[in-house]
Every structure is written in structure tokens, then in C-alpha cells.
Amino acid sequence: MRIALAQLNPTIGALNQNLKKIKEYYQRGMEGGADLVVFTELALSGYPPRDLLTYKSFPDSERELINNELLPLTAQNSPPILIGATHRQENRLFNAALLLEKGEIKSTHLKTLLPYFDVFDEERYFTRFKNRKIEMLGDLPTAITVCEDIWNDMEYFSAPLYDNDPLEGLFAQGARLLINLSASPYHRGKHALREDMLPFLAKKYNTAIIYLNQLGANDELVFDGSSLIYNHRGELLYRASAFEEELIYIETETLFQPALEITPPDRDDISTINQILQLGTRDYVTKTGFKKVVFGLSGGIDSAVVAALAAEALGPENVLGIMMPSPYSSEHSVHDAVKLAENLGINYRIVKIDQPFNAFIDMFNQGEGPRQDLAEENLQARLRGNILMHISNREGYLTLVTGNKSELAVGYCTLYGDMAGGLAILADVPKMMVYELANYLNDNHGREIIPRRIITKAPSAELRPNQKDEDSLPPYDVLDPILQMYLENNLSPAEIIETGYDKDIVQKVIRMVETSEFKRRQAAPGLRISPNSFGPGRRIPIARGYEYF
Amino acid sequence: MRIALAQLNPTIGALNQNLKKIKEYYQRGMEGGADLVVFTELALSGYPPRDLLTYKSFPDSERELINNELLPLTAQNSPPILIGATHRQENRLFNAALLLEKGEIKSTHLKTLLPYFDVFDEERYFTRFKNRKIEMLGDLPTAITVCEDIWNDMEYFSAPLYDNDPLEGLFAQGARLLINLSASPYHRGKHALREDMLPFLAKKYNTAIIYLNQLGANDELVFDGSSLIYNHRGELLYRASAFEEELIYIETETLFQPALEITPPDRDDISTINQILQLGTRDYVTKTGFKKVVFGLSGGIDSAVVAALAAEALGPENVLGIMMPSPYSSEHSVHDAVKLAENLGINYRIVKIDQPFNAFIDMFNQGEGPRQDLAEENLQARLRGNILMHISNREGYLTLVTGNKSELAVGYCTLYGDMAGGLAILADVPKMMVYELANYLNDNHGREIIPRRIITKAPSAELRPNQKDEDSLPPYDVLDPILQMYLENNLSPAEIIETGYDKDIVQKVIRMVETSEFKRRQAAPGLRISPNSFGPGRRIPIARGYEYF
């Protein structure tokens, strides 16, 4: 049997547009001799549809398209389709895999494990289903599962999240092939986790595995494809692209033969993050109907990396950097920014903020000149925000936020100022990793795209004379590890101090994190690359009194 | 037996501060002759603690306080305590009611039904517990339950959310008293629902009911107390305040006697909303550590109502209104705003935006004067946002957002402009209800607090000459009912059109709602008064392609 797997990039809710692509890939699969064409979890709606599922018409429209557009394709001797879709039964909604065959829904495979942690909210929309049955695909007894269903092995995980594992029941029925329709977003370390857990399952159950994952970004989440095929010995037979749509063919016979060669482990490193951020940027911009982006180009490292990523993701002709020097900007800043823009071939403009800044200062300080206090620092950031939003509103650019995760974590950023914009592409990238990206981008281009001085000079917001980030923050090589332990590894302050960091610094950092929640509540969506990003998966109350040390 | 019920206003996470209050009320209850003192759901942490529960130290600290501070109080012959708290068992966390008696935790009553819809996310944090046992309180077999536990009666609700009802098991064990520790936030209609459902349960199970609810606001949610006591015939014996802390005493004997008088149904009307918004404002301001608020006072109806509410909630001396006229402001605007400020006795300043506006226009339009396009309208709103945030940053005021729900729903507001601020107190109040509030406030004061012209003049953003809201929006008496049907009653566009509204208008309104999600994602927390407010309970993707008609 020849199976075709479609790793596609859907747009959330765009049922007709997604259908069109599904039909195209079905056609290609059929022409490629497939006996079955497989699509990902909730393939027509895209994942996650979130509250679109609460519009009654949404699952209804989806089912109509399946009945009227997909089922007829499978009539007579055309290959069946296995596709993720919602399924309503006795007034409950399920997250299902549907097998469409000979013009009918031959079987439904309803998801048992509904993730409800982090960015996942499936318990809100779906009902759990427990009595799972295997399916004969040709002569292969197959466990058809949906995403989370395979992630609760009681031996593999030391603290399984759910009290049951649907795989146990399915393999007790004699399954020899495991198909998993996924929509699993990227974070650092997830490739390694998948490529460790899946072969474990293959060996445990002596089963071949087809793991088909959604591609493409939806708001914060970047789905990284990287679909995987394992033989029953747990040897990797195929790994799909993390950044491109693919139609993958697999002969079921090969699933039970030794691998012809050993595939090296996945290289999930700074180059992956570079690609993920580009995919996330491109998808957000295009799926929200924009083409061009604008952002502040300060001559600093963050905006330089944003410029380079955006230029690659969208084409330099669609990228506009605005240099907005103030009286406190150092001379080299505009110079460096112009050099960068020229290296990248992006558009740029220089818009001095002196005039409106002086007008405000006159007004606020009754003609006494600047006081150089925090309020005036924020004012400069907000004037720049005004300028970017004006260009966005008047000329149809999407504004990108250039701030990094370290800043956002400690609140070293201005609401409505440098935080203004539609998408924050470095919001989950710590400062030290921004440097790593800058160096990688230069290496990758084989030349100095990002001018050396931008990488080597001391980070500064340039909001008062001779200001340096280190005046307000610990050095980033101290700050970043503390933030990672606190935010990503869930270490308590005491545990962080035990690793050797200074108690006062740790407490200061954590106090900054805890008191800047109100800023993040109003932050733009930020692309996620870590297991614990800010955004909808983080739910910390603002008005509160807990001191975490 | 004499039971004391403490309806308290906790601060989320402020374990020690909440403990102090709990001990005070315990002491008062003991002095008042109580044989048992009862507190609300998660009384030490406040509800909802959200992701504070993921800090391992948080439930640990809570339990430490129970062990070290509360248990000792109940030693020997002191009255027991019934209190909501987390409970860890076999590495799972439960939402529990704990009975503290004679220095020990005599019994735990673990919550079965964990709400995970709307603003509730309990499935993320807690494990469901099913085998519930009744408790003997004196000689009364009692069903001790936590909030949602009582909200799934299969006869009362046409579409119960859960597949089981813990009350069935508890009353099968012969319970005669139902105690419910709640933290149930206000929305319009909830009083009526409670006072309909609870007597239904009383009669169905022939049980007396003690319903004890949390008081006070936490971010968006305003908990409205209104604790209720019913006898076994379902007659209301007591209704506590919706706005104030209370210590309520009840003799268990009276729970099984006919009511001495008939209590009229709760009056949940515009006066309730007035009080709820004041409570929400006061609590957010004080619980975030502020004392004073600032906002734009335009001479329009929204900011007038905000001013009146804030003045009552915080005292006029803590309220600062800023009039920020532009060249497009009508003459009467500043005049009306000043009159209002004087009526209320609040502080005010006049800060013209001409100077910075002209500086920007010079810069953007190369000396050609204003173009009066949408970008320049937004610019004016953002300059006002700058001014408010400057005063906030420099002088320590919390900025209030003055926009109403109708505007926010259709995106008739400017990101980083009139949307700038820490709390949006009218974010869930439709425009027509803002008028209702204005009239109520005047009636309630027995004089014209809000000048008549502010109420009668046509709504206008005054961002270009002679602009009126109706140039861009349907009249509010058309817009508001459409929005209510769509957002609160979950009617589909087709169903709304069927009620008689013009198809083009309905589609225009819904398109405006659907395309302005990106603004609401970055909106300030807004006090909730409807069953379907914007904010954390609404999860609509931004980048998407679904057209809902």
C-alpha cells in the first residue's frame, strides 16, 4: 500500500481556502499512485481554531465541506482520505480523525487526550472519548490517533498528565501501524523530544509510526512540520521539512524493513530558530492580509536582527526601517542603521523626533528644558511608537515590535512605545540568543550583513546621555540564565540562588518579572520558540500580592 | 448550632494579608458565639490565583499557613473552621474545602466539577475528585461543596456541562444541609440565576442551603458576594451585601423553620452595575498599589461617567481629569468637562495638544498642513495617550481607559491612543447603558452631576471637523442590540437578521467586530459585567480567514 502524507500550512478558519489546498494535494497524491492520502489534525479549520469552535456554524460549515466536497472525491475506486476534523455526536463536539472511503465516512477516531496546559485549551471545546478501536488499512491493523493521544506513555513520562493512555487499548487490539495526525507547535527541544519518544513507542509496541504534523504559523504558534516516519524497529525512515509544505509517499512494506541508512539526529539549533522566526513572520504578515512591514531601526542589535529576518522572510523590498534619532542618540547609531539597511537592501527613512519631543517638553516642563527622568525616556519611546503607527495607518504597513524576551521579561520596555506593533518577532528570544542569531546571519550570508559595531557595542536604549542597559539591569549573561531558570525551567528563586547566582540579583530580577505583568498583558503577539513563552499560555494575575521569595 | 459566615475581599496571592483578615473574622465569629466559622473558596489565595498555582511554593506556603496559623486556633474547644484551600494528594492538586477541628484537618472535601469555560481554567490546575462524602456538622449531615459542584443539576439545566452531578451522591447519603464555598463573579443576570437555581435545589433535596460567595474585584472579575441562606423549603432567609464584607450568623435551627417574611427578589439593575463598577475600580487601583487615577476628560459621555464612578469609588481628591482639546474640539467640550469636574469636585488640568500635533503634522506632511485622514485621527488619540501616560509615569497616577464596550467591539478606538491605560472600567458597558448610568448617577445624586448637554449631544470623537460617531457606525440603539445578540446571546448573523435588523448593517457590524480582534488583544483589562465580556475568556485567533456569514 502506498500512503501519501500532506504536510500543509493552513490558515485558521479559512475553510474554503484550506479545502482548495487539500483537494490539490489529494489530486497530486492520487496521480502519484497513493492508495490513501492523509492530512493533519483539524486540517480544514487549521489548528488551533480556538473560539471559532464556539460559533455553531463553524463545525457545521466544516462538515458540509467534507460531505459535499471531500467525500465525493473518494467515490468508487479513488483513494480514501484520512483527515482531522471536528465531529459532533449527541450534541458533543469531538476532535476526530475521519476515514473517508467510497463516498462515505467509513470510521471516526475520536481524540481521547485533550491538552489543557500552556497554550492548549481543548477541554473548553471538545469532549474526551475513551473507547478507541483500531482500523484495518489494507491488511494493516492501524491505531489512528490525534496529536496528544500518543503523549501519555506511563513508562516514558515520569509524571504523565492524564490517568489513561489510549495506546494501551489500541495496541491490545493488535495494531501494527500507528498513525498520528498532529498539530504540534515548535519550541526549542521539541524535535529531540519527538525523536526520542516516537522510537520508544515503536520499540515498545513493535509498531511502525507515521507522525504527520501541521506546518506554518498561527499568531504566536509556529507549527514546524518535521513529520516523521519510523519502522517497527524505531529506525527513522523519513523526516520532512520544518519550514515547507510537502507531500510525502511511503510504501507500507518499507515500514517493516530495516532502515537503509541511519538518519542523523535532527539539528535543532540557531539555524532552526532563524527559519522558525522567518516562517512565523511571513505567515503572520500574509495571513493578516499585509505585505509590508515597518519598524524602528535604532542601530541596536535587536532591530538589526529583526531587519535581517524580515528581509529574508518577506523580501527586502517589503521592509521599511525607520531611524528615529533623538538628542540622546549616539552619532554611530544612525550611521550603523543606514549601513545595515544598505547591506540588506531594505528601504529606510530618517525621522528625527526632536520637533515633537521639544513640543512635549515645552508643554510638560513649562519651558524649563528636559528633566531626563523616566517619564521622558518613556515619552521618547512613545513618540517613536506614534511615528511607526502613523506610517502603518497611512501607508498600510504592519508594525513589527523589535524588543527581545529579556527586556519583556523584566519590563525594560515602554507600553505604547517600543512595545507598539502587531507582531513581536523576538518576544521569545533572550538577548544572548539575539547575538547568536546576529552572528549566525552574518556567517550564513558569508559576509557582514549586520555591521560588526552593532554586535560589539554595549547595549543601550539611548534615552538619556550615555545610558547603558547595564545601568538598570544585570549583564545579559547573568540575566538570561536567571530568566531561563525562572521562566522556562520553573525553578524557584531559592533553587536559582542555589545554583550560585547572587541572592540580591536573583530577587531583583524576579521582582522585575513579577511587577511587569501589566505590560505583557498589553503586549503584541510574540512568536514562540521556548517551552514557556509569554502570551496566551501564561496566566498571571495583575492585581495581586504574592512575593515569590 | 451557630454558624458564622465570612464574606471577605481577598487580594490574589497575598497569603499573609488574607490570613490576617481570616484570623480577625475568626476571632470576631468566636466572640459572636459561633460554633463554626466558614470562609469562601480558596480563601487564603483569593480566587482566581491562575498560574500562581504553578509555582510549587505557592500551594506549599498556603498549606504552611493553614498548619501553623489556622489549625492551632481551633485547638481544644475553639470553633472549627471550614475553609476553601488547595490540597495536594498523590502529587495531584485539588480545589478543596478543609474542615479544621481541634488542631487537625478533620476532613477534606475535594471539588468534582472544574469549570473550564469562559474565564475559568480550573482543569489546568486541579484534578477532578469523584467519591464525595457527607460530613456531620453537629447532628446535621452536610454536603460540603465548592462552587461549580452545585451547578450541574440534570433537571434544572437543559444542557449540563458535565456528565455527573456530585449532589446526587451526597444527598443519597442523606445530607440535610448544603454548604457551598464559592468564588463566583458577577455578570448581569447572575443574581437571578442563583436565586432561581438554589431554591430549586432546596426543594428538590429538601435541604437547607448556605451559599457563601467571595467579595471584591481581581483584575477583570468582580466578585459580588451576595451570599445566600435558604431554608429547606427554598425560602430565602438572608441575602448578604453585593459590595461589602460581612460576617453573617445563622442558627441551624432556623434553617428548618418557615421564613418569617418573604424576601423580595434581588434588584439587579443599573444601581447594581454602578456599585459593581465602583468596587471593580477601587479594588484594581488599590490592589495594584495605586491611590490616584488620571484619564482624559473630553466633554463626552464616556469620560463623564468614568469621572463620576471614579470620584465615588476613590474620593474626588484622588481623581484627575485632563482636558486635551485639539483644533477639532468643539467649544462646548472643554466647557462641559470643566463643569463636570467642578460638579464632582475632582481635579482637572487643560493640556492642549496643538503644539505636539502641529510638530508631527509639519514632520509628516512636509509643511502642507493636516490631511484629516484616519492616520491623523489616530495621531490625535495617541498624543492624548502620551500625555496621560506621561502624567501617570511622572506623578504616579494609574491611567483609566474611558472607552465603552460598543466602541471596543467594533474597533472604533485607537490602539495606544484612547485605549492606553491600566484599567478600562466601561469596557463591558455598551454605549446605551453608559447613558443609563449617566442618568442614574444624576438621579441618585438628586442633582445634575453630569451636565445635561453631555447626555444630550450627539456622540463624537471630535477628531476631524463636525465628525459624528454615526458617520462611521450605525446609531447606538441599533448597534448595541446587534452586538448583544452576537456577543452575549451567541446568535449567528443569520439569526440576528431574522429578528428584523438590516442585513447590510448586521454584516458590517460583525465584520467590524471580527476584524478588530487585534486591538482587543492589546487592550487593558476591562471590568466584566456581562456573561460574555472581552478579555481572558475570549480566545479568537487574529490571523485567520473565517467570514462568519
**Closest listed residue to residue A182, CA positions, set A168, A170, A198, A169:** A198
**CATH class for the domain made up of B2-268:** alpha beta
Contacts of A292 (CB under 8 A, 6+ apart): A314, A318, A319, A320, A395, A396, A397, A398
Report the residue from B283, B362, B525 with minimal CB separation from A521.
B525
Give buried/exposed letters for B372-403 (b at 16+ CB in 10 A, else e). Answer: eeebbbbbbbbbbbbbbbbbbbbeebbbbbbb
User: pLDDT tens digit string along B356-406?
Assistant: 999 999 999 998 999 999 999 999 999 999 999 999 999 999 999 999 999
Question: Cell numbers of B210, please?
Answer: 448556605
The answer to whether A448 is a known catalytic residue is no
Which overall architecture, per CATH, does domain A2-257 show? 4-Layer Sandwich (3.60)
pLDDT tens sequence across B495-512:
999 999 999 999 999 999
Interface membership of A121 toward B (CB under 8 Å): yes
Which residues from chain A sit within 8 angstroms of residue B58, using beta carbons? 546
CA-CA distance, B131 to A201, in Å (whole number)? 34
Mean pLDDT taken over chain B: 96
The helix (run of H) or strand (run of E) holding residue A537 is: none
pLDDT at A549 (0 to 100): 63
Which of B 128-187 lie inside 8 A of A, CB atoms? 159
Cα–Cα distance between B437 and B430 in angstroms, integer?
11
| Cell triple for A186 | 515548535
pLDDT band at B439 (very low <50, low <70, confident <90, very high): very high
Question: Residue A473 carries which DSSP code?
Answer: S
Interatomic CA distance for residues B157 and B208, integer angstroms: 21
Q: Active site residue: B21, B111, B292, B519, which one?
A: B111
Cα(A387)–Cα(A354) distance, rounded to whole angstroms?
12
d(CA B226, CA B224): 6
CA A24, A28, A30, A34: dihedral to nearest 10 degrees? Answer: -120
Q: Are B212 and B241 in contact (CB under 8 A)?
A: no
Question: According to the model, what pLDDT value does residue B549 have?
Answer: 63
| Closest partner CB to B393 (pick from A14, A46, A375) | A375
Which ipTM was obtained for this model?
A: 0.95
User: Do the Cβ atoms of B386 and A383 come within 8 Å?
Assistant: yes
Sign of CA dihedral B486, B490, B495, B500: negative
- Answer yes or no: is pLDDT of B77 > 70: yes
Helix axes B354-364, B374-395, angle to 10 degrees: 130
User: Which residues in chain B are classed under CATH 3.60.110.10?
Assistant: 2-268
Reported confidence tier of residue B349, pLDDT bands at 50, 70, 90: very high
Convert B110-128 to b/e letters by CB count within 10 Å (16 or more is b): bbbbbbbebbbbbbbbbbb
Return d(Cα B412, Cα A436) in angstroms, integer. Answer: 42
Residues forming CATH 3.60.110.10 domain(s) in chain A: 2-257
Contacts of B375 in chain A (CB under 8 A): 390, 393-394
Alpha-carbon distance A342 to B338, whole Å?
Answer: 53
A69 alpha-carbon distance from chain centroid: 31
According to the model, what pLDDT value does residue B284 have?
A: 98
| Tens digit of pLDDT at every position of chain A (549 positions) | 999 999 999 999 999 999 999 999 999 999 999 999 999 999 999 999 999 999 888 999 999 999 999 999 999 889 999 999 999 998 899 999 999 999 999 999 999 999 998 899 999 999 999 999 999 999 999 999 999 999 999 999 998 999 999 999 999 999 999 999 999 999 999 999 999 999 999 999 999 999 999 999 999 999 999 999 999 999 999 999 999 999 999 999 999 999 988 888 888 899 999 999 999 999 999 999 999 999 999 999 999 999 999 999 999 999 999 999 998 988 889 999 999 999 999 999 999 999 999 999 999 999 899 999 999 999 999 999 999 999 999 999 999 999 999 999 999 999 999 999 999 999 999 999 999 999 999 999 999 999 999 999 999 989 998 899 999 999 999 999 999 999 999 899 999 999 999 999 999 999 999 999 999 999 999 999 999 899 989 999 999 997 776
pTM metric for this prediction: 0.96
**pLDDT of B57:** 86
| Helix extents (H) in A173-245 | 190-205
Catalytic residue (one of A101, A135, A147, A431): A147
> 445635561: which residue's cell?
B452
* Ranges for all domains in chain A classified under CATH 3.40.50.620: 273-521
Distance (Å, whole) CA A205 – CA B381: 63
**Active-site residue flag, B41:** yes
Helix (H) or strand (E) holding B476: helix B476-483
- Cα–Cα distance measured from residue B5 to residue A390, given in angstroms and rounded to the nearest whole number: 56
Smallest Cα distance from A20 to chain B, Å: 13
- The per-residue pLDDT for A91 is 87
> Which of A75, A63, A49 has its CA nearest to residue A19?
A63
> Alpha-carbon distance A209 to A194, whole Å?
12
Q: Does domain B273-521 have CATH number 3.40.50.620?
A: yes
Widest CA span in chain A: 86
From chain B, pick out residues whose CB is under 8 angstroms from the CB of A48.
541
Q: What percent of chain B has pLDDT over 90?
A: 91
Q: pLDDT class for B410, splitting at 50, 70, 90?
A: very high
Helix (H) or strand (E) holding B402: none
